[in-house]
């Protein structure tokens, strides 16, 4: 009997073939190298090593803010929950590959009582006319009960996956689980980039606030001086009005930048998911921008296969490819097995004797004879879904290539722009000092001094913007390349999408 039980288990463990088409990784739908020309930086290396955000964002304060966010951010918690959901769905589907075995035990008492009635006429009757005597209607009752004890172990309707339908569905669920982990890594990558950008934006707004405050103080002195000259009959009233215009403009910018700095702190706290220590915030963009380092040079476009959104798209493509096999297998018969092995006895003492063992095996096969073409339509649908996933995967790579190319184009010109802006600010500073001295000496009009002051204010603000653009461009390159190994999910299994 044990041999028969082993045979049942062996039959249930029968491995399946697969009707899913062999997965072939699509060729990159982008050029093998980045664009070159005046707007692009030259690349001289072949591959990109794995990077860490600590290699790019080198300020310890920014690193602490990022680390705090990776623990507290609610989007990451939601992404972790999605991973848990996908993992559970995969495990549920994987369980279909193995038989479900259940055990049971029971006790039954059945009353089998019967009643028998006997009418006996064993007597004599005598009499005259209507009189007589006799012994009639004797009733006897007999009854009993049956006790049954049972214990059984069974397999309920297990599908023998001869054509790989269940295995293909399991492969699809597994790839979608891996895809959810890639999506979570994309969330981490975006979060790190957003925090770095918000940190730099705060630094630039602090610098703009400082410039507005200095300009407001400088214009206040100009207003006071011009008022004295007006009272002395040296300057016209228009000079005072023009000085007041500059002053009020600076005061308006001062209020705007004060609001911006406060909102920057709020934005950082939302990204981090907790209050941010003011000691972790930069004092100016001049201090913060140099702490953002360049990424390693020499990037081959195959590095885009490491971007989390591209990885997720490829896993979805793999899942769709596996579902073709499930749809094909649905065209073939479904073979199921139901088996039961157990013990039954009228007494507990005899329950485990050889005579108490019994078993039953009920294999079955089903095949839909007429479905109006639904089975073949399912195969066509799964192929169309695979084609859609392929187009989505290729579009993800092309989008990634475009984003990186745009960032490289900006990287190739921002240094020249920044140098020119610094030279412009230096020239504007000298021009204002000379114009102010000539005005105070009565050589130039106040309009020339005022124009020089406005030019200086504008160039200082533009310099801050250029510094922010340069640092933000490095953040954009970090994010669009998507090669931060410290943010990868190690439980995602084999990284077949790695170049």
Question: In the structure encoding, which two tokens stand for residue 332, read together?
Answer: 């073939």
- The CA-atom distances, in angstroms, between 240 and each of 13, 16, 223, 446, 456 are 95, 91, 6, 9, 20
Question: In the structure encoding, which two tokens stand for residue 305, read together?
Answer: 């296969």
**Per-residue confidence (pLDDT) for residue 439, from 0 to 100:** 76
What is the SS3 assignment for 19? Answer: coil
Separation between Cα atoms, residue 344 and residue 350, nearest integer Å: 9
* Residue tagged 């699809």 (tokens): 172
Q: Which residues contact 407 (CB under 8 A, 6 or more apart)?
A: 473, 476, 477, 480
Tell me the angle at which helices 165-231 and 60-72 cross, rounded to the nearest 10 degrees: 130
Separation between Cα atoms, residue 433 and residue 427, nearest integer Å: 10
**Per-residue confidence (pLDDT) for residue 358, from 0 to 100:** 67
Report field, pTM of the whole predicted structure over 0.75: no
**Per-residue confidence (pLDDT) for residue 371, from 0 to 100:** 67
Question: If residue 90 lies in a helix (H) or strand (E), which one and from where to where?
Answer: helix 74-94
Instruction: List beta partners, residue 149.
Output: 107, 345
Q: What does 378-424 look like in DSSP terms, one character per residue? A: HHHHHHHHHHHHHHHHHHHHHHHHHHHHHHHHHHHHHHHHHHHHHHH
Tell me the angle at which helices 74-94 and 165-231 cross, rounded to the nearest 10 degrees: 170
Note whether 19 and 164 are within 8 A (CB).
yes
Q: Would you give the DSSP letter of residue 2?
A: H
Q: Which residues contact 431 (CB under 8 A, 6 or more apart)?
A: 452, 455, 456
Which of 488, 487, 483, 495 is CA-nearest to residue 51?
483
What is the SS3 assignment for 296? Answer: coil
Q: What does 321-359 look like in DSSP terms, one character per residue? A: HHHHHHHHHTTSPEEEEEEEEEEEESSGGGTTSGGGEEE
Exposure letters 401-432 (e unless 16+ CB within 10 A, then b): bebbbebbbbbbebeeebeebeebbeebeebb
Separation between Cα atoms, residue 225 and residue 422, nearest integer Å: 30
Exposed (0-12), middle (13-18) or buried (19+): which is 352, by Cβ within 10 Å? exposed
pLDDT tens figures, 316-326: 888 888 777 66
**Per-residue confidence (pLDDT) for residue 260, from 0 to 100:** 95
- The CA-atom distances, in angstroms, between 122 and each of 119, 134, 135, 140, 180 are 9, 8, 7, 16, 92
For 361, list phi and psi in degrees, rounded to 5.
-130, 130
Digit-by-digit pLDDT tens for the chain (499 residues) are 444 444 444 444 444 455 566 666 666 555 544 444 333 322 332 343 457 888 889 999 999 999 998 888 777 777 677 777 877 776 776 676 667 777 777 777 777 655 444 443 343 333 333 333 333 333 333 456 677 777 777 666 666 656 677 777 787 888 788 877 777 888 888 889 999 999 999 999 999 999 999 999 988 888 888 888 777 777 788 888 888 888 898 899 999 999 999 999 999 999 898 899 999 999 999 999 999 988 766 556 666 777 788 888 888 888 888 777 667 666 566 666 666 666 565 555 555 565 666 666 666 666 677 666 777 787 788 888 888 888 888 888 888 888 888 888 888 899 999 999 999 999 999 998 988 888 777 787 777 888 888 899 999 999 999 999 999 999 998 888 886 767 754 333 333 333 2
**Per-residue confidence (pLDDT) for residue 44, from 0 to 100:** 30
**Per-residue confidence (pLDDT) for residue 423, from 0 to 100:** 95
Tell me the angle at which helices 374-440 and 446-481 cross, rounded to the nearest 10 degrees: 150
For 23, list phi and psi in degrees, rounded to 5.
-75, 125
Q: Which residues contact 9 (CB under 8 A, 6 or more apart)?
A: 99
**Per-residue confidence (pLDDT) for residue 302, from 0 to 100:** 63
Residue ranges and CATH numbers for the domains of the chain are 16-98+162-332+373-492 (1.20.1600.10), 100-109+140-160+333-366 (2.20.200.10)
* Residue tagged 């981490």 (tokens): 188
Note whether 464 and 458 are within 8 A (CB).
no
Sign of the Cα torsion 216, 221, 223, 224 reads positive
- The CA-atom distances, in angstroms, between 289 and each of 198, 260, 462 are 12, 19, 15
């Amino acid at each position: 009997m044990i041999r028969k039980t082993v045979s049942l288990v062996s039959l249930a463990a029968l491995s399946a073939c697969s009707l899913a088409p062999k997965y072939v990784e699509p060729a990159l739908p982008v050029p093998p190298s980045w664009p070159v020309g005046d707007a692009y930086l030259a690349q001289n290396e072949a591959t990109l090593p794995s990077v860490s955000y600590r290699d790019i964002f080198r300020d310890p304060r920014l690193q602490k803010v990022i680390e705090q966010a990776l623990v507290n951010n609610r989007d990451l918690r939601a992404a972790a929950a999605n991973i848990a959901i996908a993992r559970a769905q995969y495990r549920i589907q994987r369980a279909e590959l193995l038989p479900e075995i259940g055990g049971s035990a029971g006790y039954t008492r059945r009353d089998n009582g019967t009643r028998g009635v006997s009418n006996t006429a064993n007597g004599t009757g005598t009499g005259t006319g209507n009189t007589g005597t006799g012994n009639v209607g004797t009733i006897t009752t007999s009854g009993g009960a049956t006790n049954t004890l049972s214990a059984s172990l069974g397999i309920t309707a297990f599908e023998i996956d001869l054509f790989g339908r269940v295995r293909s569905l399991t492969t699809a669920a597994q790839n979608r689980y891996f895809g959810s982990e890639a999506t979570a890594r994309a969330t981490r990558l975006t979060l790190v980039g957003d925090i770095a950008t918000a940190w730099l934006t705060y630094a630039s707004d602090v610098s703009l606030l400082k410039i507005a405050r200095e300009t407001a103080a400088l214009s206040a002195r100009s207003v006071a001086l011009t008022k004295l000259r007006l009272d002395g009959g040296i300057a016209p009233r228009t000079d005072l009005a023009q000085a007041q215009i500059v002053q009020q403009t600076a005061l308006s910018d001062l209020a705007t930048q004060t609001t911006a700095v406060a909102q920057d702190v709020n934005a950082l706290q939302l990204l981090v998911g907790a209050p941010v220590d003011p000691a972790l915030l930069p004092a100016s963009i001049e201090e913060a921008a140099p702490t953002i380092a360049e990424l390693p040079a020499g990037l081959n476009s195959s590095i885009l296969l490491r971007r989390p959104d591209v990885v997720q798209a490829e896993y979805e493509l793999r899942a769709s490819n596996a579902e073709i096999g499930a749809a094909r297998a649905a065209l073939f018969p479904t073979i199921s097995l139901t088996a039961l092995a157990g013990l039954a006895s009228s007494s507990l003492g005899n329950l485990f004797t050889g005579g108490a063992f019994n078993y039953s095996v009920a294999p079955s096969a089903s095949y839909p004879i007429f479905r109006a073409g639904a089975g073949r339509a399912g195969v066509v649908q799964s192929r169309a879904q695979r084609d859609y996933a392929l187009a989505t995967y290729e579009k993800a790579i092309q989008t990634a290539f475009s984003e990186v190319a745009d960032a490289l184009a900006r990287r190739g010109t921002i240094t020249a722009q920044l140098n020119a802006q610094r030279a412009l600010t230096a020239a504007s500073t000298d021009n204002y000092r000379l114009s102010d001295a000539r005005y105070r000496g009565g050589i130039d009009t106040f309009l020339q001094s005022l124009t020089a002051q406005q030019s200086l204010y504008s160039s200082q603000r533009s310099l801050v913007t250029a510094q922010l653009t340069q640092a933000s461009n490095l953040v954009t390159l970090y994010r669009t390349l998507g090669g931060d190994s410290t943010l990868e999910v190690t439980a995602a299994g084999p990284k077949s999408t790695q170049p």
